[in-house]
Structure 1
Amino acid sequence: MRVFFCNKSNLVKNMKTHTEEKPYICEVCGYSVSRKADLVKHERIHTGEKPHTCEVCGYSCSRKSNLVRHKVTHTGGKPHTCEVCGYSFYATSDLVKHIRTHTGEKPHSCEVCGYSCSEKSSLVKHMRIHTGEKLYTCEVCGYSCSRKSNLVRHKVTHTGEKPHTCEVCGYSFYARSDLVKHIRTHTGEKPHSCEVCEYSCSRKSNLVRHKRTHTGEKPHSCEVCGYSCSATSALVKHMRTHTGEKPHICEVCGYSFSSKYGLVRHKVTHTGAKVTYFLLIHVRMHTTKSEKPHSCEVCGYTCSNKYQIKIHMRTHTGEKPHTCEVCGFSCSKKSTLVIHIRGHTGDKPYSCEVCAYSFTVKSKLVKHMRTHTGEKPYSCEVCGYSCSEKSHLVTHLRIHTGEKPHACKVCGYSCSQKSSLVKHMRTHTGEKPHSCEVCGYSCSDKSTLVIHIRTHTGEKPHSCEICGHSFSEKSNLVKHMRTHTGEKPHSCKVCGYSFSEKSNLVRHMSTHAKEMSGIV
């Protein structure tokens, strides 16, 4: 197909698009173009010149095409409409770009890494990752970046200005894009969807991270220990375990933390306020079934989000996709694997601020802190007994109900605590895992070993408040106290005689046994 031009200069310009000749070069940054007019427009980036001005509002710009587009904002007209979704635009070029969101077309590709995108401007910005080019510089602190939008956002950190405000809650932001994302927390809009599992989210970056759960991709690696992760933020936090950096500082007491979450949690100790984040978690305990739209088809379990139901289904399928590379242990939850791996690495990221004791799991730190605060949030409705752990209350309630869910398969013995069953089973196996380092004595119960060690140390921690007599075992103190109180809780069912100790009752019962057999 032959194309004709009305003058020779236009033909010359057109030929350069075929030869890729770019004779016009920017003296500031080396950028080259095929037309002199394009170089003039480009140079305005460096000079800041904006010769095109709007007569209505005074807005000025470096390109005439931008002014034409701007003027439409005053007339209110958006003549270019998408036939697929009805969205309309001021300029034809914007419509062309928009249509690619429907077709998925990405005509612009990076020759270095193969990255492709729908807009040429996006490719130009992307190429700066490879070239390291940073065109935009902050006049205040010298900070430089590859994108103008990043510079605009950065400058606000000097002025403190947050011009974009949410009309719903009043929260304000430096950048409009951040406001758009924030508004989705109110509307519940989740425009980004996963093609594999139907997961949807409000941010594209979250979707990119989510997709790595399917691909297993972990592009971010620690140069110190080789740890790899799917998110940059996770690597930043991990690096602090090597550097010891704690950038989040409490303004009240100066205590510092490696994570923002740790600081938020700490601040509550000063204000006494219930942080909204924790309140939201707590409210879920009271939500009704209608607020938990995701149900398990097997057992009817309901939850508030798809991820929870996905994890729950593994209890039925037995699926354990997360495997330990060290010992082969597998589990259904990634969080469980993370905790398990700490058993190999010795990592204990949760530390007590009072006594420096550290834990592999956050829940254990929460329980430990109650030893300092004396908090006992779990109470028995029958007798008023209170304790610091829910598991202790569950065990205690069995005293009232008589429930003994743990049974021995050998002899049928049953008990209320699993730990008691473990100890009992040793009477059958003969296992004695607890040994004395002094004399080699071994026993099946750790508490028995603790008492035994006192025979070497001479320690007698249990003292009588009346006469000062002390004992190595609490049970001996209980027996001793009966010499003061006169209590005799063990009674003979035959003659009614009572004793302060069970062993005396057993000896006494043998006298009745002899009488009944005719032996005097």
Structure 2
Amino acid sequence: MDESIEKQTEQKRYSCQVCDASFLYKSFLIQHLRKHTGEKPFSCDLCEYSSSHKSSLVVHMRTHTGEKPYSCEICGYSCAQKSGLGIHMRTHTGEKPYSCQVCDASFTMKSNLVGHIRTHTGEKPYSCKECGYSCSQKTVLVMHMRTHTGEKPYCCEVCGCSFARNAHLVVHMRTHTGEKPYVCKICGYLCTLKCSLIVHMRTHTGEKPYSCNVCGFSCSQNSHLVMHMRKHSREKPYSCQICDASFTKKSTLVIHLRTHSGEKPYSCEDCDSSFAKKSCLVIHMQTHTGNPGKGL
């Protein structure tokens, strides 16, 4: 076995003049040299993509043809690259071979680990040339750039809505399918977003992590704290375009606008009365039930 290895090493007679790399075959050396020269001789006829390897071009062409030759035998997932299937299989096996040496986090992909490490180092190597925004991952910068270009490449086939992120499209599709994958184990509450479930759980735990530094008021949602702070700052960011009225909440502005439009969307099922506010309908219904509220 040792003689075989020595013989193979001797046969690596094609050496790179730029670095210490050497190869068994001349074709391998030619491919390697493109790393130094930046040469990308394989070009796509449909877009501006080019690559240094023919195999990379073959994979790229699948983005145009939609071909996905690698399929998961467990769930039917398919993808364009064999490496992509290998990564996908870890969602079934639970394997996370890339571990952080600083904390206990582990990942299915090396690129995710590299991005995570930057949360410890604070490194943000990717910068936006338009506004100076910087981030730790290239994919995050790509998504950020869409705030400048307005590009929304992910389109809903049902209603035509488009989104800058695939994750937003996935969430949107649930408005069509009615899917609510996040379930409260205590009361059975269902929701479409994981963050909504986290907020809901606070109704059971009583947790109120958001606190006012002026008066000590605390609440379960950051949006509630933002609205509360307007009591102190007297900020009223929602203004009526018809009169000079302004409000701390958008919902209050919506109700106010009905005084101009005359809209009364809350109707009584027992008579012809209708109201601009739901609370007014509730009070009115008590005239039919014979159960008047306090002070009526």
Structure 1-normalised TM-score? 0.44
Is residue 267 of structure 2 the alignment partner of residue 463 of structure 1? yes
Contact 2:236 2:246 (8 Å CA) reproduced = yes
**Alpha-carbon distance between aligned partners in 1 of 2:276 and 2:40, rounded to the nearest angstrom:** 58
**Among candidates 38, 56, 76, match of residue 275 of structure 1:** 76
Distance 1:306 1:487, change over 3 A: farther
- State the partner residue of 1:105: 15
Partner of 1:390: 194
Q: How does 1:398-437 map to 2 (within 5 A)?
A: 398-437=202-241
CA gap 1:371/1:445 in 2 versus in 1, 3 angstroms: same
Q: CA deviation at 1:443?
A: 1.9
Q: Once the 2 structures are TM-superposed, how far is the Cα of residue 415 of structure 1 from its aligned partner?
A: 1.0
Question: In the TM superposition, what is the alpha-carbon distance from 1:486 to its structure 2 partner?
Answer: 5.4
* C-alpha contact (below 8 Å) 2:12/2:22 kept by paired residues: no
Could you tell me how far apart the structure 1 residues matched to 2:123 and 2:243 are?
Answer: 48
Q: Structure 1 CA distance, aligned partners of 2:39 and 2:230?
A: 46
Match of 1:446 in 2: 250
Q: How does 1:112-127 map to 2 (within 5 A)?
A: 122=27
RMSD, aligned CA: 4.4
Aligned-partner SS, 2:160: coil
- Aligned residue for 1:284? 91
Aligned to 1:56: none
> Residue type of the partner of 2:237?
P
Q: Which is worse superposed, 419-428 or 329-338?
A: 419-428
Query: Take 1:219 and 1:448, find their aligned partners in 2: how far apart are those partners?
Result: 59
Q: Which amino acid in structure 1 is aligned with residue 113 of structure 2?
A: I
Q: CA offset at residue 366 of structure 1?
A: 0.9
Length, aligned pairs only: 276
Give the counterpart letter for 2:91 in structure 1.
Answer: R
Deviations 1:362-410 (A, max 9, x none): 1111111111112222222222221222222221221122111111122
Unpaired segments of 5 or more residues in structure 2?
42-47, 80-84
Query: Is the 1:219–1:228 Cα contact (8 Å) retained in structure 2?
Result: no
Equivalent residue for 2:154?
350
Match of 1:85 in 2: 5
Q: Describe the SS at the equivalent of 1:467.
A: coil
| 3-state SS of 1:85 partner | helix
Corresponding residue SS for 1:99: coil
**How far is 1:119 from its partner?**
8.6
Q: How far, CA to CA, are the matches of 2:125 and 2:185 in structure 1?
A: 42
Determine the C-alpha separation between the residues in 1 that align with 2:22 and 2:225: 63
Task: Say if 1:430 and 1:228 are closer, same or farther in 2 by CA, change over 3 A.
Answer: farther
Which residue of structure 1 lines up, in the alignment, with residue 132 of structure 2? 328
Q: Give the counterpart letter for 1:434 in structure 2.
A: Y
What whole-Å deviation, never above 9, does each CA across 1:37-91 have from its counterpart, x for those lacking one?
xxxxxxxxxxxxxxxxxxxxxxxxxxxxxxxxxxxxxxxxxxxx99571567xxx
Counterpart pick for 1:473 among 277, 280, 294? 277
**Aligned 1:21-420 pairs, distance under 5 A:** 83=3, 85=5, 98-100=11-13, 105-106=15-16, 122=27, 248=65, 260=67, 274-277=75-78, 281=88, 284=91, 287=94, 291-420=95-224
Cα deviation for residue 442 of structure 1 reads: 2.3
Using the TM superposition, give the Cα deviation of residue 330 of structure 1 relative to its aligned residue in structure 2, in angstroms.
0.7
What amino acid is the match of 1:276?
Answer: Y
> Quick one: distance in 2 between partners of 1:219 and 1:341?
25
Structure 2 distance, partners of 1:282, 1:464, is: 56
Shift of 1:424: 1.5
Deviations 1:137-163 (CA, angstroms, capped at 9, x unpaired): xxxxxxxxxxxxxxxxxxxxxxxxxxx
Q: Name which of structure 1's ranges 447-456 and 412-421 shifts more when overlaid on structure 2.
A: 447-456
User: How far apart, in 2, do the equivalents of 1:468 and 1:286 lie?
Assistant: 61
- Where relative contact order (Cα < 8 A, 6+ residues apart) is larger, the structure is 2
Q: CA deviation at 1:228?
A: 8.8
- Give me the whole-angstrom Cα distance separating, in 2, the residues matched to 1:404 and 1:325: 39
Aligned-partner Cα distance in 2 for 1:218–1:382? 60
Letter in 2 for 1:284: T
Q: 1:85 to 1:119 in 2, by over 3 A?
A: closer
| CA 421–218 in structure 1, closer or farther in 2 if over 3 Å, else same | farther
Residue 260 (structure 1) shift: 4.9
Q: State the alpha-carbon separation in 2 of the partners of residues 358 and 283 from structure 1.
A: 30
What is the identity, as a one-letter code, of the residue corresponding to 2:231? T
